[in-house]
């Protein structure tokens, strides 16, 4: 049995949601119900601890090529207005580099060529968006753990924060994960999707895949990874754009 046995749906129980409620309704609709919101917040800590206890290092399910979705929707921002980003995109990201900094021994600036030269992991997984759609796609890139090992974490590092090139209004998109997910074997920095270089709509040149969590955690347009001791003091302090703006859960394990 997998860790999915203790899914959020089960922990919340049919009582709070009605049978299949979480599956059939979009997150925005669910958010309107105060009862649902309370149930989610109350269950969240339990859910995270239970998944960590029981699933431990369990892998998200991986699929066969034949199961890949014919269409993979692009969601959220599908392009980036930032002038520096646009210049890099026009140049095929040849001059672009991923910054890794914060609580690390060796801050890095890794060009795409360096990320492609690292040992690669490819995985076919299902992406679940809280807006009510899923798609199965193939992702490839180095494991985040390799990049973090190159940078060398300082003892106080607790979170990896992904700073993105895009914004909603004035607010940049960002996301964060703890070190358990950062070092999970399926957590990769994907530069390839479905056998092609990552398209701009899906987060070129680099996006996070953190396969045991919901879609909004999978930061696209990752420009910088910052290692931090705390999420306090960063934007709204809740660890992600939607966590700050939309009351989404920081721990979005599925």
Ligand X SMILES: Nc1nc2c(c(=O)[nH]1)N[C@H]1C(S)=C(S)[C@@H](COP(=O)(O)O)O[C@H]1N2
Q: Site residues (CB under 6 A) for ligand X?
A: 73-77, 129, 164, 166, 173, 202, 215-216, 218-221
User: Which residues lie closer than 8 Å to 198 by C-beta, 6 or more apart?
Assistant: 190, 191, 192, 204, 205, 206, 207
Looking at the Cβ atoms of 38 and 79, the one nearer to ligand X is 79
CA end-to-end span of the chain, whole Å? Answer: 15
* Residue 239, binding choice from Mo ion, ligand X, none, Cβ under 5 to 8 Å by partner class: none
Q: Which x/- pattern, by CB under 5 A, does the window 70-109 give for Mo ion?
A: ----------------------------------------
Q: Residue 27 CB, nearest distance to ligand X (Å)?
A: 9
Residues that contact Mo ion, how many (by CB under 5 A): 3
Q: Which is nearer to Mo ion, 142 or 215 (CB)?
A: 215
Between 36 and 162, whose beta carbon lies closer to ligand X? Answer: 162
Q: Residue 205: is the preceding peptide bond cis (ω within 30°)?
A: yes
Minimal distance in Å, beta carbon 75 to Mo ion?
A: 5
Q: CB under 5 to 8 A by kind: which of Mo ion, ligand X, none does 221 bind?
A: ligand X
* Choices 23-31, 90-98, 114-122, 210-218; region in contact with Mo ion by CB under 5 A: 210-218
Q: How far is the CB of 22 from ligand X (least distance, A)?
A: 16
Find the shortest distance in angstroms from Cβ 194 to ligand X. 11
Question: Looking at beta carbons only, is 113 or 134 nearer to Mo ion?
Answer: 134
Considering only 3, 102, 137, 215, the residue that binds Mo ion (CB under 5 A) is: 215
Torsion-angle region of 190 (φ positive above 0: left; ψ -120 to 50: alpha; else: beta)? beta
Answer for which of 58, 68, 99, 129 binds Mo ion (CB under 5 A) is: 129
Binding site for Mo ion (CB under 5 A): 129, 215-216
């Amino acid at each position: 049995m997998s860790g999915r046995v203790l899914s959020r749906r089960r922990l919340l129980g049919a009582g709070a949601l009605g049978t299949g409620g979480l599956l059939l309704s979009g997150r925005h609709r669910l958010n309107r119900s105060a009862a649902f919101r309370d149930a989610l917040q109350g269950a969240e800590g339990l859910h995270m601890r239970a998944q960590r206890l029981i699933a431990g290092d369990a892998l998200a399910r991986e699929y066969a090529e034949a199961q890949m979705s014919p269409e993979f929707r692009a969601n959220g921002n599908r392009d980036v207005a930032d002038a520096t980003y646009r210049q890099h995109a026009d140049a095929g990201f040849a001059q672009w580099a991923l910054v890794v900094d914060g609580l690390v021994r060796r801050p890095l600036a890794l060009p795409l060529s360096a990320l492609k030269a690292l040992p690669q992991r490819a995985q076919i997984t299902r992406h679940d968006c809280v807006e009510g759609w899923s798609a199965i796609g193939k992702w490839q890139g180095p494991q985040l753990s390799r990049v973090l090992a190159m940078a060398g974490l300082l003892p106080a590092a607790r979170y990896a924060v992904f700073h993105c090139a895009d914004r909603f209004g004035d607010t940049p998109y960002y996301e964060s994960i703890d070190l358990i997910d950062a070092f999970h074997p399926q957590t990769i920095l994907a530069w390839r999707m479905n056998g092609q270089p990552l398209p701009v709509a899906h987060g070129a040149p680099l996006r996070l895949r953190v396969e045991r969590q919901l879609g909004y955690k999978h930061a696209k347009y990752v420009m910088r990874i910052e290692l931090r001791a705390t999420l306090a003091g960063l934007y709204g302090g809740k660890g992600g754009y939607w966590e700050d703006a939309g009351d989404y859960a920081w721990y979005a394990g599925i």
